[in-house]
Copies of this chain bind each other. A is one copy, B any other.
Amino acid sequence: MVATTHSKQFESIELESGVVLSPVSVAYETYGTLNADKSNTILVTHAFSGDAHAAGVDAEGQKGWWDNQIGPGKGFDTDKYFVICSNVLGGCKGSTGPSSINPATGERYAMTFPVITIGDMVTLQKMLIDSFGITRLLSVAGGSMGGMQVLEWAVRFPEAVASAIPIASTARHSAQQIAFNEVARQAIMADPDWADGNYYDKKPPGRGLAVARMVGHITYMSDESMRQKFGRRQREENGIFEVESYLRYRGSQFVDRFDANSYLFITKAMDMFDLANGAQSLVPVLAKSRTRYLIISFTSDWLYPSYQSLEIVSALRRRNQDVAYIELTSNYGHDAFLVEVDEQTELIRGFLARTMKEVAKK
């Protein structure tokens, strides 16, 4: 399956802050075929550092980030469903973000880019979906920050979302999750090459961004998966621990593929996200949705621990809303949503088939 990233431009988008960003582009890919009554669309939303390339192989031979779940016969079966994935607003993989040119100045936005929210990312996705003439999504699915977008879709556009699959996610960040993001932001901003965000024609803040990514990687893995993968093994040539060498490599590699200012804006959007908008209980806000839920979390995920998924599940059950919750056993930590294929595939396949039937009935 060869994947091509497309781009769509809209005249403007009004953000939650009231700011109007104009124009705005969205990069996206689609897999499978839209059926005649446009009832088979699944929107896949990506995690923090993801992009529109969710499946198939692109021109550079790169597999999509959820290729093990999206394709013919897979969990999101492209023989049956039409799958769309777009790069988020604020990103650096084709959608408008801090590295885009501000037409008003002819310069990159950099830190003059407006504050964006998870809600704004969803607004842009809605514009994209509308442009296809699709009025209702069979499902919205995503892990981590992708799950936040899923939840936002379900409560903002209840009639447009038949089912929702938030995986390894939360309705709002805990203090610890905010703290890890803040350390990453401080690492970036501590790098003099960051230069208040104006590094685009110069050396990017590679050292700070690498440190930020290293912190991230620790939180994506589990104590157990790190033990299994690295243990206390040291490299023969220089005596450094393999885990150190791995983190340094992943950190430096990230610098070539991600924009530091996008890191700042997107992590801030995640931290600010609160489905309940400051309220303690999630019950009233989730009661707005008219959606069937499949919620998945993983035993060893300590970044987005199961209790955060359970909080959503409990709130849905209070109003007798349709929710299936599964905690899968995995050693992979938060990364499990990307790598634990088999059980997720089965769960997703069954859930989507049942949703398709329900949709057909109506």
Contact = CB atoms under 8 A, between A and B. Distances in A.
A214 B183 CA distance: 6
Given A190-B210, A190-B211, A211-B186, A223 B174 contact: yes
Contact of A186 (B175, B179, B243, B251): B251
Chain A interface extent, by class: 35 or more
Interface stretch (A59-67, A118-126, A228-236, A256-264): A228-236
A147 interface: no
A114 interface: no
A186 B251 CA distance: 10
A231 B215 CA distance: 21
Contacts of A218: 176, 179-180, 183
Contacts of A192: 192
A302 interface: yes
B210 A175 contact: no
Which of A192, A214, A251 has most chain B Cβ within 10 Å? A214
A327 interface: no
A179 B216 CA distance: 11
Contacts of A305: 223
A178 interface: yes
A191 interface: yes
Interface of A: 172-176, 178-180, 182-183, 186-187, 190-192, 207-208, 210-211, 214-215, 217-218, 221, 223, 226-227, 229-232, 241, 243-244, 247-248, 251, 271, 274, 302, 305
Given A175-B243, A186-B251, A187-B187, 13 more contacts: A174-B223, A174-B227, A175-B223, A175-B231, A178-B241, A182-B241, A182-B247, A182-B248, A183-B215, A186-B211, A187-B190, A211-B211, A223-B302
The 6 closest A-B pairs by CB, nearest first: A190-B207, A175-B226, A175-B230, A175-B243, A182-B244, A176-B223
